[in-house]
Each structure stands twice: as C-alpha cells, then as structure tokens.
Structure 1
Amino acid sequence: MAKILILDCKQEVSSFNPLLSEYENFHIAHGDALYSHRGLNTELGGAFSVFDQHPDIAVVPTIAARAGSAGLVSAEGWSRLSAEILDAVRAGADRIDGVYASMHGAMGAVGELDPEGYLLAEVRKIVGPDVPIVLSLDLHGILTERMLQQIDGLTLYHTYPHVDFGDTGARAARLLLSVMNGEVKPVAARVVVPALVRGDELITGTGCYGDLIRECQRIERDGSALAAGIMIGNPFTDVPELCTQVIVQTDGDVATAETEAKRLANEFWPQRFRMQGKLIALDRAIAQARTMTGPVVFTDAADATSSGATGDSNAILAALRSAGYPGRVLAQIVDPAAAATAHKAGVGATISVTLGGAIDPARYKPMETTARVASLSDGQSRLETMKTELDAGLTAVLVFDNFTVVVMSKSVSLFDRAMYYSSGCNPVDFDLVVVKSPHTEFHMYDAWVEKNFNIDAPGATSADLPSLGHSICARPIYPLDPDVEFRPKATIYTAATQR
C-alpha cells in the first residue's frame, strides 16, 4: 500500500502591516484532525476526495497550520511554528511514497522571507531525493527558485475571488498519483514578469486576467500541460522574488512548456496597465452616494484583512460622519479595547469609546464616539465558501447615530458576509456597506447594489502600489517603476526526483 504524507501551511502577509504575527495566530491541527476537511471546499478536502477513491493509498496526515492574513511572522513565532511543522513531518515520514504540500505562497517572517521555500527544502531533506513532492498554491503566492528546486509538480488556483480551493487540491492529488505511478515525468517552464497588478481586471469571471487564466485551463484540459497558471503574487508581500510569473508544466515536453509560458507572458505584459486599481476619492464617493436611491458598497481594499491589512481603519467611517452622510451605514473594524469595553458594559449599555487606530495609529487617528451596545458575541463564525472557522475574539455590535459597526478583537478574513451575518447584521438592510476586501463573490454584494465604489483610502494593502514603499523586491518592476522593459525568458525545471 502506497503512503502519502500530507501537510498544510498557509498565511498571506503584508510587509506594510506594523503588527507582527505570532505563533498564537495560527490554528494548528495534528494528525487525524486533518480529516475534518473531508467534504469541505478546501485544498485538503479536494485531495482527500481523490485519495479516498484509491483503496491502495494510505494517507499520513501530519499537520495543518493556518493563520489569517496579517504582518510578518515574528522571528520567535516562526522558529516555533517551523519546528513544529517539521517535527510533525519527521514523525510521519517513515517509508512514505509521496508528499502533498498545501501552501499559500505569500508568507513572510522576520529573518526568513521565503518560509515556504525553507519548509520545502527541509521536507526534501527528511523524505530524501526519491519521494515526489507536489505542491498547491494560491495564485497570489510567490513561487521562488528554492521552492521549485524541491518539488515534482504543482497546481495553482484558477479563480479570483477564489472558489476553486477543493478543485486545486484534487488536481494536485491526481498529479501526485501520476508522478508516483511513473505515468508522467514533469518538466516546468517559468517566465518571470516584472509587474505587480491589482484591480477589477483580475476578477477571473469578467476581467482580462481571467481570459488568460482560461488559456491556462485550456492547455491543462486538452492535455498540452499537466498544470498551468499565472501567479500574480501578493503585491504587499515585499520579498526578493515578488513578481508576476507564468508557470507551465508538461509531461517531459520542454519545447511546449517554454513556448506556452512565453506566449502567455507576452499576452499578459501589454495588459499590465489595465490590471491596476481604479480608485475614487472618498469625498467624491460620498457625494455621489448621497444622491443614489439604491444601496451602495464602499470597498476599503486598503484595509483588506485577507490581504494582510490591520483591519482597524476608520478612514471611511470618519469621513462619512464628518460629511453628514444620512443613510444607514454598516461597517466592520478591529478594535480590541472597544470590544472589551462593550462586553464589560453589557447589551443595552451606552459607552464612550474610540474606534480605529488600535493597531496602526500612524495611519488612523482614533475616532471618539458614544454608542449603544446592540449585541455581543464570541466572534465565532464560518466562511461562506470554504466553511472553515473564523475567530474574531470578543465581538460587539455598536450603534451610534446612523452607524452600525461590528467591532472585533482580532483580524479575520472579511471577503464574504460571514462576520456580518454571525453578528446579526444583514447587509441588505443598510444603505451603505463597508467591505474590507478588494473583491467578493458577485452574489454577495455586486448583484444587488447600485454601485460598488473602490475607495482611495490609506492602508497596508492600498491598490496605490507606489505609495506603499517597497524596499526589498527586485527592481525595476511596474508600476513602482514606470519604464520597464520586458523580453520573456523561460527557466526550465525538471521534477526533483528526475534530476
């Protein structure tokens, strides 16, 4: 019976978030606890759906370590986390025949700017040179040279907003089985594109980026490639190999891998201008929203917690209050002190607190307010699409004037409506909803609002990329540098076990 070791490590960071992540930010599951992903739309869930169909396969679940997006992991936190992950792998690595590693690709730690590369290199040392390793990554990941040197194959997300978590894991599982059975001998071509992108054109269902992703899917489906994708990286993870890159992996066909990777890169490059955030000034958005009859969304992508921002921006709240916007406003904010005060006072109490600037006071000035505590909760919820757990800590719904604000103690992903719903707030009941994510699935907001305004506001994940202050990534790179030349060059990687 063949044995497949499974591990999972995922976090996306913003280098511009001043609050470091710690070991305690990670939700860690060991051993059989990973089977809880069966039936879920996660990479592990997708992989299990494949492996469970093969009675001759024994899965060795080791560890899953996941944290919400935030700042870099502290040196101490990374030392403890990485040691725990590798200890779990060592404990399960006896006589295994393959490894599936589920990762994000946009981690970063103090003293280790390529955490995934480090882990994969250490896993390779543990399992030896003859055990195939297949990796799955978010398309916002940063695939490094060190990562590519350790693996035999990879699969990438093909959707944004992301909905194909399970499909990506299933594709990785099938690829790993093909490599283990000697049915394929993968070779990959990688073309690095010196561009960082953001904005609506990245929505794969409607944008020009999606048109290119469908080409990647086509060459996978017609058999030209084992795997293909365009990784746009996380532009807020300021690390040496941050870039856009095209990856095409074939069954030993170097020429096709190189030709297709170069073709896709050449098609991507002239569209980099379109793939930038189109922002509207906050005062103009407020003025327009006042004249509209239907509900509107104010997208605060600069404070997108799922991209690594702090979640404590009050920029939109303060501007709406200052402008005297009359409609009913629903918003979210991370402010542990305000949430604690509300819990101490109790439901129905009137409290005086400040909102905002709890984590990033250099960007956001705390806003004084007197509010009624409408409800309290423990901040537990589940993502709408993945059904995985959220833990926002002590959470309160505060109401003042025409504002209803869900105040959380900890940052969690806000790319759906989960925290609104679990706090008893339905966005359709409001005139203006603040969404701290660059995009959500269409049905969640865009299907029923009159307008979704992409607000120009300060934050650790602002789409105004030149304003952030990158200092580590390779230069020149667009749009940080306006005049960048590009001629596609493919680097070829054979499967690690075939070298």
Structure 2
Amino acid sequence: MKTVLIVECMQEISSFNPVPSEYENFEIEQGEALFAHRGGNTAIGGALQILNADAGIRVMPGIAARAGSAGLLSEQGWRRLSQQLLEAVRAKIDAVDAIYVSLHGAMGASGELDPEGFLLSEIRAMAGPDTPIVISLDLHGILTEKMIKAIDGLAIYHTYPHVDFADTGARAARLLLRLMAGGPPAAIARAVIPALVRGDELITRTGCYGDLIRECQRLEAEGSALSAGVMIGNPFTDVPEVCSQVIISTDGDGKTAQREAERLAAEFWAMRHRMQSRLVPLERAIGQARTLKGTVCFTDAADATSSGASGDSNVILQALREAKYPKRVLAQIVDPAAAAAAHQAGVGATLSLTLGGGMDAERYRPMPVTARVKLLSDGRARLETMGLPLDAGATAVLAFEQFTVVVMSRTVSLFDRAMYFACGLNPADFDLVVVKSPHTEYHMYDGWVAANFNIDAPGATSANIAQLGHRICARPMFPLDAIHEFVPRATLHRRG
C-alpha cells in the first residue's frame, strides 16, 4: 500500500487593499479534520473521492490552511503560517510516497511575493527528487517558474464562476495515481501571455474565454493532454509573474504540449480586448434603474471581497442617496465599528453612526446615517456552491430611509447570496441589490433580474486595471502598456 499526503494552502490577495491580512484570517485543519471534506465540493473532497476508491492507496491527511481573499499577508503572519505548514509536512514526509497540494495560486505576503513557490520548493527539498508532487490551482492563480520546477503535474479549474472545485481535485488525484503507477514523467508546456484581463467574456458558460477552456477539456478528453488549462491570473495580485498563461501537460510528448500551448495562447491574445470589462458610470446606472421594472443588480466588482478588497465601500449607497433613488435597496458592507454599535444597542434600537470608509480610507469616506437595528446575528453562513463556512463576525441588519444594509465585522466571500439569506433577506424582495463580486452563478441573479449594471467605482479590485497602479509586475503588460506585437513561445518543463 502506498501513502499520499494531502496539503492545502489557499488565499487570494489584492495588493491594492491597504489592510493587511494576518495569520488569524486562516482556518487551519490538521490531521483527520481534513476527512470532513469527503463528499464536499472542494478540491480536497474531489481528491479524497478518487484516492479512497483505490484499495492500494492510504491517505495521510496533513494540513489545510484556507483564508478568504484580503490584503497582502503580513510578514509575521506569513512566517507563522509557512512554519506551521512545513512543520506538518516534515512530521510525516518519511512515510509518504506521493503528495497532493491544493493551492489557489494568487497569494502574496510581505517579504515573499511567491508564497506557493516557496512552499512547493521546500516540500520538494524534503520529499526528494523522486516523490511525485501534483497540485491543483484556481484559474485565477499565478503559476510561477519556481512552482513549476517543483511539481510533476497539475490540474486547473475549468469554470468561472467556479463550480468545479471537486472535479479539479479529482483530476489532480487521477494524475497523481498515474505517476505513482510508473507512468512516464509529464511534459509541461507553459506559454506566458503579457495580458491582464477582467470582464464578462471570462464567464466560461457564455464568454470567449470559455471557448478556450472547452478546447482544453477536449484535449484532456481525447487523451492528447494529461491536463490543460488557461490561467488568467489575478490582476490585483501585483507580483513579478502575474500574467495570463496556457499550461498543457502531456504524457511525455513535449512537441504536442508546446504546439497546443502556443496555439491557444495566440487565440487568447487575439481576444484580449474583448476580455476587458464594460463599466457603466454610476450616474447612468441609477438613472436607468429608476425606469426599470423588477429587481436590478448593481455589481460593485471594485470592492469585491472575494477578490481581495476591503468591503467597506459606500460609494454606491452614497450616490443612490444623493440621487434620491426612491426604491428599496439591499446592500452589504464591512464595518466592524457599526456592527459593534448595533449589537450594543440591540434589536429595535435607533442610532446615529457612520457606515463604511473606515478601512480603505484613501478611497472612501464614512457616511453618516440614522438607522434602526432590524436584526443581529453571529455572521455565520455557508457558501451556496461549496458549502464551506463563512464567518463574518458580529453582523447586523440596519435599515434607514429606503436602504437595508447587512453590516459585517469581517470580510467574507460575497460571490453568492449566502450572507443575505443567513440574515433572512431575499434579494428578490428588493428593487435594487448591490453585489460585491465581479460575477455570480447565473441562477443567483442574472437569470432573473431586469438588468445587471457593472458599476464603474473606485476600489482595490477595480476592473479598470490600468488605473490600479501596478508597480511590481513584468512590463510591458496589456492593458497597462501598448503592445503592438506578441508571438507566443512555450517553455517546456520535464522532471525525471
């Protein structure tokens, strides 16, 4: 019987969020606690399904660390987290035949701009050159040179909005079993594309990006590739190797891997202009929302907590107020002081306070309101798709004028309706709903709202990429720079 060690480290950050994240942002699971992922729609859950079905495999649960998207991880937080992760691996490495590592790929820490590369290099040094290591990655991850040199294979998400967490873990586990069975070392071709993209065309169900992903799925299904993916990175993680890239892994056939990677990279490059957001001025969106029947959605992607923003933008609320928008508005905001004041006052109380502008103070200003406390909660919920827990801390529902606002103490992912539902609020009961996420699954809003306006607003995750202020990423980079000619060239990596 052979032993597979499972490790996870996942966080996505925005370098433009001034609030650093800390070790305390991470939920840490160790040992048999990882088995709770069985049957769940997580990468570990999918990997366990495949590994547990093989009678010749024993799973050794190591450690899993997961944090919501936020600002750059502090130096102290990274030091503590990385030491804990590597110590957990070191304690079990001697009994391991192979390793599966679940990653996001868009981490960043003060003093270490390639955390995943560092972890994988350290794990490789402990495991030695002959132990297979396979990873899974979010398509918004950033596969770096250091990462790819440390691994034997990888699987990448194929959906956005993401629903294939377990499927990706399962694909990674199948690849790991193949390597353990003595299959030849994979040839991994990587074609880097100097482009940062953000927009509706990245929705894989409907956008042109989805056409490229389906080509990757075809290559996998017909056996031309062991794994294939197009990674669009996270344009808000300002690190040296942020980019878009095509990754093709084959069963030793390097020429095919390179050819297909370059072909898909050329197709991607030709569509780069389409893969930019079409933003709507806030004043125009408010004007049109007045005339529409049915619920409208205001997408505040610039303050998307799931992408690493602070969540304390009140720009849309303030504009609706100043425009005297008359209909019912439902929104969310991160403001620990306001949430604490509401909890102290109690349900039914009326209090004067400010909302927002307390975290990203350079972009937002506190908004004074006199509000009634409608509901108080512990801020706990579960994501609709993944089922993973959310903990927004002390949470309150405040009502003032025509506004109903869910006020949270901590940032959590808001790419579904979970926090609204957990507070007894149904978006369909309101005329305008603010969603702090670039996209949600189709049925959550787009399938039934009268219109969805992607608002042009300031924020640490603004889709107006050229205005964010990148300082570290490689240049030239579209759309930060004009690039008149680009010919993809894939590099080949092969271990063993």
| Range class of TM-score, shorter chain | over 0.9
Matching of residue 360 in structure 1 with residue 360 in structure 2: yes
Matching of residue 206 in structure 1 with residue 206 in structure 2: yes
Q: Which structure 2 residues correspond to residues 446-465 of structure 1 after superposition, within 5 A?
A: 446-465=446-465
Please name the residue that 1:83 is paired with.
83
Structure 2 residue identity aligned to 1:325: Y
**C-alpha deviation, 1:484, in angstroms:** 4.3
Rounded Cα–Cα distance in structure 2 between residues aligned with 1:484 and 1:254:
29
> Retained in 2: the 8 A contact 1:133–1:151?
yes
Matching of residue 219 in structure 1 with residue 219 in structure 2: yes
Q: Which structure 2 residues correspond to residues 462-477 of structure 1 after superposition, within 5 A?
A: 462-477=462-477
Rounded Cα–Cα distance in structure 2 between residues aligned with 1:183 and 1:23:
39
Please name the residue that 1:116 is paired with.
116
Please name the residue that 2:178 is paired with.
178
Please name the residue that 1:71 is paired with.
71
Matching of residue 324 in structure 1 with residue 324 in structure 2: yes
Please name the residue that 1:97 is paired with.
97
Q: Which structure 2 residues correspond to residues 306-345 of structure 1 after superposition, within 5 A?
A: 306-345=306-345
Rounded Cα–Cα distance in structure 1 between residues aligned with 2:484 and 2:91:
48
Please name the residue that 1:150 is paired with.
150
Rounded Cα–Cα distance in structure 1 between residues aligned with 2:132 and 2:57:
15
Please name the residue that 2:107 is paired with.
107
SS of the aligned residue for 1:421 comes to: helix
> Retained in 2: the 8 A contact 1:12–1:307?
yes
SS of the aligned residue for 2:70 comes to: coil
Please name the residue that 1:490 is paired with.
490
- CA-to-aligned-CA distance 1:132-176 (integer Å, 9 cap, x gap): 000000000000000000000000000000000000000000000
- CA-to-aligned-CA distance 1:188-229 (integer Å, 9 cap, x gap): 110000000000000000000000000000000000000000
Rounded Cα–Cα distance in structure 1 between residues aligned with 2:270 and 2:247:
18
- CA-to-aligned-CA distance 1:253-281 (integer Å, 9 cap, x gap): 01100110010011111100000010000
Rounded Cα–Cα distance in structure 1 between residues aligned with 2:432 and 2:338:
22
Rounded Cα–Cα distance in structure 2 between residues aligned with 1:95 and 1:305:
39
Please name the residue that 1:297 is paired with.
297
> Retained in 2: the 8 A contact 1:338–1:354?
yes
**C-alpha deviation, 1:54, in angstroms:** 1.1
Please name the residue that 1:403 is paired with.
403
Rounded Cα–Cα distance in structure 1 between residues aligned with 2:31 and 2:353:
44
Please name the residue that 1:439 is paired with.
439
Please name the residue that 2:228 is paired with.
228
**C-alpha deviation, 1:60, in angstroms:** 0.8
Rounded Cα–Cα distance in structure 2 between residues aligned with 1:196 and 1:483:
12
Rounded Cα–Cα distance in structure 2 between residues aligned with 1:340 and 1:267:
51
SS of the aligned residue for 1:94 comes to: helix
Matching of residue 276 in structure 1 with residue 268 in structure 2: no
Please name the residue that 2:377 is paired with.
377
Question: TM-score when scaled to structure 2?
Answer: 0.99
Rounded Cα–Cα distance in structure 2 between residues aligned with 1:29 and 1:241:
30
Please name the residue that 1:12 is paired with.
12
Rounded Cα–Cα distance in structure 1 between residues aligned with 2:262 and 2:56:
40
- CA-to-aligned-CA distance 1:313-350 (integer Å, 9 cap, x gap): 00000000110001100000000000000000000000
**C-alpha deviation, 1:183, in angstroms:** 2.5
Matching of residue 394 in structure 1 with residue 403 in structure 2: no
Structure 1 residues 231 and 492: alpha-carbon distance in aligned structure 2, compared to 1, 3 A threshold = same
Rounded Cα–Cα distance in structure 2 between residues aligned with 1:229 and 1:356:
39
Question: TM-score when scaled to structure 1?
Answer: 0.99
SS of the aligned residue for 1:320 comes to: helix
- CA-to-aligned-CA distance 1:31-59 (integer Å, 9 cap, x gap): 00000100100000000000110122111
Rounded Cα–Cα distance in structure 1 between residues aligned with 2:255 and 2:18:
45
**C-alpha deviation, 1:483, in angstroms:** 2.8
Over the aligned positions, Cα root-mean-square deviation in angstroms equals 0.6
Structure 2 residue identity aligned to 1:260: E
Matching of residue 252 in structure 1 with residue 233 in structure 2: no
Report % sequence identity. Answer: 68
> Retained in 2: the 8 A contact 1:476–1:484?
no
Structure 2 residue identity aligned to 1:29: E
**C-alpha deviation, 1:182, in angstroms:** 1.0
Rounded Cα–Cα distance in structure 2 between residues aligned with 1:484 and 1:369:
50
Please name the residue that 2:28 is paired with.
28
The alignment covers a number of residue pairs equal to 496
